[in-house]
Amino acid sequence: MDKQLSPRAALAAPAGVPGESDVPLVVDLDGTLLRTDTLIESLFALARVEPAALLRIPIWLAHGRAGFKRALAQRARVDVHTLPFDAALLSHLRTQRAQGRRLILATGADALLAHAVADESGLFDQVLASDGNVNLTGSRKRDRLVAEFGLRGFDYVGNDWRDLPVWAAARRGVVASSSMRLHARVRALTEVVPVLDVRRPSVNAYLGALRVHHWSKNLLLLVALLAAHRLREPAPLLRVLGAMVCFNWVASGIYLLNDLLDLSSDRRHPHKRERALASGEVPLDHALVLVPALWLTAALLGAWIARPLLAILCVYVVTMMAYSLRLKDLRFVDALVLGLGYTWRILAGAVAAGVQITPWLLACSLALFFGLALLKRYAELVALRNHVGAKVSVRAYRSDDAAAICVVGLLCGGLAVLMLATFPLLQPDVQLRWPVWLFCALLAAWIAHMWWMARRGAILGDPVAFALRDGPSQAFGAVTAAILLATA
């Protein structure tokens, strides 16, 4: 009598076990084979190259979900070469194929995209997918698999509650999900084989996707209070702190949206490919929920603090959306928009506090942050060139543009320092001029230091993240804070 195999051994049994290799292993695509959702990928890929086409989505949906997926697959440009495969499952499937097991890709994604992914993996003997008429999910997928292989004639690897009808018809199941509730439901339907160790996204992954370390930029909202010497007044300070929270949430939503639009390009980047959304560590549908939730809560809080603040938040969101969709692909225009975003923060702080801000200070801010935005592009070019070792491009910038970017960026930084240094001379009510001039000297030294670090290739990611862990930058921040608090 043959020895009975354990569930794990049965799924991975060699071809010599009678009948085992005749049972095909059926694998789902989205969230299972891939650590992403190809429908969401397709939507944002289309939005990136042809945002006006999104207006046709209601027309496509009128032809059903299968018709919608086919229309989207025909127009969107999803780079299957960069899609994040689940490494553990991929290794398991290669072992199964080497042992003679038939592998079937069965997915609700459109067949055009499913076949492209199957070709990229080089593993599957057959692809079953939505074809423009039938949306192959849930019970429809179950019926198709039962018709092909018979009831209990296949094993199934899936990750979603919609796969429950398929697991109910499968001989054995593999659950590519960290949900214990889903595991329990599947165990009630069929024998579950625990061959995958699926973990929940970490808190750090979500914090990274939200760019929490970038929230330090919103300290700029305190500038108006500092300039008005009202930092120690509780009421305006609390309003500004509330406005900072609003900008934290709004900016995090913008970062998530920008990452959704840049999935393919980020995955081709040596460092950005590790981002939470690009790597698949944080599910894309979670980002889709977070973006409107963050913006809505920011809008409600902003309206409660001051109605004009709500208007500023809305303009900021619209401007940054235009940046994400188109403006970031225009040389120097992208850096100018980023500079405006920082200046907009200073204006928002003034509105929240109810104080006046001079146009001179806003112009100084625009020059400074335009130069720092160019520093970011320069650092990206240098870092990528050092990694690739050849001519490279970052969005609209090429390696040949590096010298021009450096010159313009340094000129803008110098102009900002000069404008700030002359500010006390133009304001007769300013009694203490030496703190401003000391700050200008420190700022000039810090700008030069950052450009030197970028030239050496030391700034591998965002300059803000670099500055937060850079010793000289930390010293500059500490001395600046001491000066501002002493004169507040």
Q: Is 338 exposed, middle or buried (0-12, 13-18, 19+ CB in 10 A)?
A: buried
pLDDT digit string (tens) for 70-114?
A: 999 999 889 999 999 999 999 999 999 999 999 999 999 999 999
Q: Which amino acid is at 467?
A: A
- Strands 103-110 and 172-175 come out as unpaired
pLDDT bucket at 434, cuts 50 / 70 / 90: confident
pLDDT digit string (tens) for 154-179?
A: 999 999 999 999 999 999 999 998 88
Domain(s) of CATH 3.40.50.1000: residues in the chain: 21-192
**Residue 4 clears pLDDT 70, i.e. is over it:** no
CATH architecture of the domain with residue range 203-487: Orthogonal Bundle (1.10)
pLDDT of 204 reads: 92
**Residue 453 clears pLDDT 50, i.e. is over it:** yes
CA distance 200 to 218: 30
pLDDT bucket at 435, cuts 50 / 70 / 90: confident
CA distance 431 to 17: 90
pLDDT digit string (tens) for 185-240?
A: 999 999 998 877 787 888 999 999 999 988 988 999 998 888 787 888 899 999 99
Determine how many CB atoms are found less than 10 A away from the CB of residue 297: 15
Q: State the residue for tokens 């019926």.
A: 143
Mean pLDDT computed over 143-162:
95
Q: Nearest-CA neighbor of 369 among 344, 349, 393, 343?
A: 343
- Where is pLDDT greater, at 269 or 297? 297
CA distance 419 to 422: 5
Do residues 439 and 487 make contact, with C-beta atoms less than 8 angstroms apart? no
Q: Nearest-CA neighbor of 248 among 277, 213, 283?
A: 213
CA distance 236 to 83: 48
pLDDT digit string (tens) for 356-401?
A: 888 888 999 999 999 999 998 888 888 777 777 667 777 777 877 8
pLDDT of 464 reads: 78
Spatial CB neighbours of 132, under 8 Å, sequence gap ≥ 6: 66, 67, 69, 70, 110, 111
Mean pLDDT computed over 420-428:
74
pLDDT of 483 reads: 76
CA distances for 269 relative to 43, 80, 266, 392, 406, angstroms: 21, 15, 5, 11, 22
CA distance 380 to 265: 13
pLDDT digit string (tens) for 118-133?
A: 999 999 999 999 999 9
CA distance 144 to 107: 11
Q: Which amino acid is at 49?
A: V
**Residue 13 clears pLDDT 60, i.e. is over it:** no
**Residue 15 clears pLDDT 60, i.e. is over it:** no
pLDDT digit string (tens) for 318-356?
A: 999 999 888 888 889 999 999 999 999 999 999 999 988
Mean pLDDT computed over 459-473:
82
State whether CATH 3.40.50.720 applies to domain 21-192.
no
- Strands 397-398 and 393-394 come out as antiparallel
CA distance 466 to 383: 13
Mean pLDDT computed over 11-28:
63
pLDDT digit string (tens) for 35-72?
A: 999 999 999 999 988 888 889 999 999 989 999 999 99
Domain(s) of CATH 1.10.600: residues in the chain: 203-487
Alpha-carbon Rg of the chain, whole angstroms?
Answer: 27
pLDDT bucket at 25, cuts 50 / 70 / 90: very high
- Where is pLDDT greater, at 270 or 1? 270
pLDDT of 6 reads: 40
pLDDT of 5 reads: 37
Global pTM reads 0.84
Spatial CB neighbours of 197, under 8 Å, sequence gap ≥ 6: 88
Q: State the residue for tokens 């009598």.
A: 1
